[in-house]
Chain A
Amino acid sequence: MLALKQDHSQLVVLSVLAIGPSYGYAISKDIAARSEGHFKLSPSGMYPLLTKLEKNGLITPSWEEVKAAGADPDSSGRKRKWYTLSAKGKKQLEQSIERHRQVQSLLDGFVTPSSESGLATG
């Protein structure tokens, strides 16, 4: 399993929220599922990151009351904090994706057949 770096974490979280609103635990599960378990964003990395993204206006929070199945309908449930990608966040995500693609393309230039042949002969 690979631990995500800060820059990648932001890109990954914003990408998850680009699909639709989500909340902390669901985001972490989504990341693990979409990377087939290869990526892990720990809660101690994710919640400060979500706070930072919220403060910077990239995501907007909203609250929902959630009740356990079978719970007393009159009792109060726990609160769930949902995050939605803001217009600013969408723009930031597009820029991050563009940067990521440029870096990837540059890196591809270093692992062309010549390096592969070097590996093969080595």
Chain B
Amino acid sequence: MKKISLQPKYKVESSSKDSISTWLDVLVGMLVMPDSQRTQVRDELEDHLRSRVDDLLIVGKSEPEAIQIAVAELGETAELAKLITHAHQHSNPRRKMMNIALITVALAGMSFGGFSYINGTGAPGATPSNSGAIPVVIRESPQQRDMDNQTHPFDLSMVSMKKILIAIGDAFDKDIKFSEHARTGEMQGLLTSHIEKFQGEYTFDDAVRALNASFPEGLYGYRLEISDNTVLLQSDDEYQRSLVELRVYEIPSQFVAPSMRNDFARSIEDLLRVKFDLSYTSIQVVSGSMVVAATPEIHNKITELQQELDVVFELRAAKNKQDNDEYAVRDEQRLIEHKKKVAAAKELQLKAIDRIQEEFNSVRNNLIGTNSQMGIESKAIMDLSKQLRTQGSTLSPDEKEQIQHEMTQRGAKHTELEYLHEEYQARYIYLRDRLIDSQYAPLFENLD
């Protein structure tokens, strides 16, 4: 959609410009944020004020009156500064970019497979969620502890945060140090903020607590790092960055392809985002490993996640192995069953061949038998026929009839034997062919 530029109809005079600018200077001085953001807030509020003044001029207000109304509508200056600061501190995408830059710088010097630290000034054991009145304390010497436990009187009026801090340092013999952000003006709003009074008999811890009650860390975006002899004032941003460590994690070997490795890293990031603010975290895949810039709290969670994933992967691998073993056993059983079936079939086949052979032998004997009987019958008929031809004149009619009757009977028997012989012969050929088949069958099987 095209923007419609609403141009102010009236040009605000230089005097009003100055008074608006003065108010903006006061407001911006109270903002606790980097200069670049401060400029943007200033530009935006200036546009608001001048637009409002233009409108009020149109409806007939005088210029000073219009400015007064416009500024009054913005509310109490300090309150507005607090609210804007608070809104900016809740999330800062720039920080992520810083971490990516840190990785790039640090990669050259890091050792893969182990841990490498950058900005190693982070306090051991301290975590970003540590929200007590004294956020970061590193104390070792018992003498110093005794000194810190003595009480000192404080009686300061209309005093800035910076002066209170210096007074605490003087009372408990500590050097007050200011970080780069504090020195270069990024925390000017905090350092110049005043409170009405800072009074009481305080031990060191109580004095810091009282300071924190007047200038809450969360609201002003700063951190105090306390050791035996020094108190370092730094911005929350610097503190968080000081905690950031670079570690290299091996991606499980199951994730082979680069896209799978990237997906693995993004999944870890998404899981972490559910519970943690990842403003100071960057997760990248470099040379197949997962490189993470993050606070120890996040690193601990990643390690925990990785251990849980390892257990899952091991369980899965064990299950796969078990499944494979079961398949192997099942395959072996199937093979044994198959071999048994083949052997049984072979045995049946051999028995069948034996039976065919047996029957073949029997049929062959029958053929020989019928052949021999047919020969006997033929010879007998020929003998009877010869007897009739040679002795016909000497034989009585009864004898002739008896010989003819016998010839007829033997002829019938011969015919019967011929039928039987033919049957045996057909059976003989069939069985012979089956035997030939069975003998050549193994040969064909081998050829196949």
Q: Is the CB of A43 closer than 8 A to any CB of chain B?
A: yes
B contact residues around A63 at 8 Å (CB): 43
A113 to chain B, nearest CB (A): 43
> Would A48 and B75 count as touching, CB distance under 8 A?
no
Q: Is the CB of A51 within 8 A of B88?
A: yes
Within 8 A of A (CB), among B57-91: 73-76, 79-80, 83-84, 86-88, 90-91
A25-B51, A42-B73, A52-B90 known; A69 and B10 CB under 8 Å? yes
Given contacts A52-B87, A64-B3, A79-B43, contact A70 B11 (CB under 8 A): yes
Q: Is there contact, CB below 8 Å, between B47 and A66?
A: yes
Which of B11, B48, B76, B83 is close to A68, meaning CB atoms less than 8 Å apart?
B11
A64: which of B5, B40, B41 is its contact (CB, 8 Å)?
B5
Answer whether residue B93 sits at the interface, using C-beta atoms and an 8 A cutoff.
yes
- Determine whether the beta carbon of B3 is less than 8 Å from that of A78: no
Q: Is the interface of B mostly helix, strand, loop or mixed?
A: helix
> Given the complex, which residues of B lie within 8 Å of A82, measured CB to CB?
3
Query: Is A100 part of the binding interface, using a Cβ–Cβ cutoff of 8 Å?
Result: no
Select A47's contact among B45, B52, B79, B90, beta carbons within 8 Å. B45
The reply to whether B8 and A69 form a contact with Cβ atoms under 8 Å apart is yes
The answer to whether the Cβ of A80 comes within 8 Å of any Cβ in the partner chain is yes
Contact A21 B87, CB 8 Å, known A43-B80, A78-B47, A79-B47: no
Check: B9 CB closer than 8 A to any chain A CB: yes
Interface flags for A58-91 (1: CB within 8 Å of B; 0: not) read 0000011011111100000011111010000000
Contacts of B225 in A (CB 8 A): none
A81 touching B75 by the CB < 8 A rule? no
> In this assembly, does B259 line the interface, its C-beta being within 8 Å of a C-beta of chain A?
no
At the interface, yes or no: B50 with Cβ under 8 Å from chain A?
A: yes
Contacts of B92 in A (CB 8 A): 55
Interface residue tally of chain B, by bracket? 35 or more
In this assembly, does A44 line the interface, its C-beta being within 8 Å of a C-beta of chain B?
Answer: yes
Of B8, B12, B74, the contact of A44 (CB 8 Å cutoff): B74
Q: Which of B8, B44, B50, B88 has the most CB of A within 10 A?
A: B44
Interface membership of A26, Cβ < 8 A:
yes
| B44 & A24 in contact (Cβ 8 Å cutoff) | yes
- By a CB distance below 8 angstroms, the chain B residues around A25 are 47-48, 51-52
A15 shortest CB reach to chain B, Å: 15
| A42: chain B residues within 8 A (beta carbon) | 73, 75
Residue of B nearest to A79 (CB): B43
* Cα separation A63 to B4 with both chains bound (whole Å): 13
Indicate whether A55 sits within 8 Å of B48 (C-beta atoms), given known contacts A42-B75, A44-B83, A48-B84.
no
From A23, A52, A55, A69, give the contact of B47 (CB < 8 A). A23
Query: How many Å from the CB of A22 to the closest CB on chain B?
Result: 9
Task: Identify which of B1, B46, B90 contacts A78 (C-beta below 8 A).
Answer: B46
Least CB distance from A80 to B in Å reads 5
Q: A25-B52, A78-B46 are in contact. Are A43 and B73 (CB under 8 A)?
A: yes
Determine whether the beta carbon of B80 is less than 8 Å from that of A44.
yes
Are B48 and A78 neighbours in the complex by a CB distance under 8 Å? no
Question: Residue B443 at the A interface, CB < 8 A?
Answer: no
Which of A26, A48, A68, A78 sits near B87, CB closer than 8 Å? A48
Contacts of A29 in B (CB 8 A): 55
Q: Hey, what's the 0/1 contact readout for B1-28 against A, CB within 8 Å counting as 1?
A: 1011111111110000000000000000
Whether A56 is near chain B, meaning CB under 8 Å from some CB there, is: yes
* Cβ contact of A67, chosen from B7, B40, B80, B84, cutoff 8 A: B7
B90 lies within 8 A of A81 (CB): no
Chain B hits for A80, CB < 8 A: 44, 47
Contact of A81 among B9, B10, B44, B84 (CB under 8 A): B44
Q: Is the CB of A24 within 8 A of B48?
A: yes
Q: Report the minimal beta-carbon distance from A110 to chain B, rounded to whole angstroms.
A: 35
Cβ–Cβ contact B79 & A44, under 8 A: yes
Q: A69: which B residues are within 8 A, CB to CB?
A: 7-11
CA gap between A63 and B76 in the complex, in Å: 27
Contacts of B79 in A (CB 8 A): 44
List, in ascending order, chain A residues with CB within 8 A of B3's CB.
Answer: 21, 64, 82
Whether A44 contacts B47 in the complex (CB less than 8 A), given A56-B91, A67-B7, A68-B10, comes out as no
Residues of B near A64 (CB, < 8 A) are: 3, 5
Roughly how many angstroms separate A84 CA and B46 CA in the complex, as a whole number?
20
CA distance in complex: A44, B77 (Å): 9
For the complex of A and B, 3 pairs with smallest distance between CB atoms: A48-B87, A51-B87, A68-B11
Q: Pull 13 A–B residue pairs with CB atoms less than 8 Å apart, ordered by A.
A: A26-B6, A29-B55, A43-B73, A44-B83, A55-B87, A56-B91, A66-B5, A68-B11, A69-B7, A69-B9, A78-B43, A79-B46, A80-B44
- Enumerate chain A interface residues (CB-CB to B < 8 A): 20-21, 23-26, 29, 42-44, 47-49, 51-52, 55-56, 63-64, 66-71, 78-82, 84
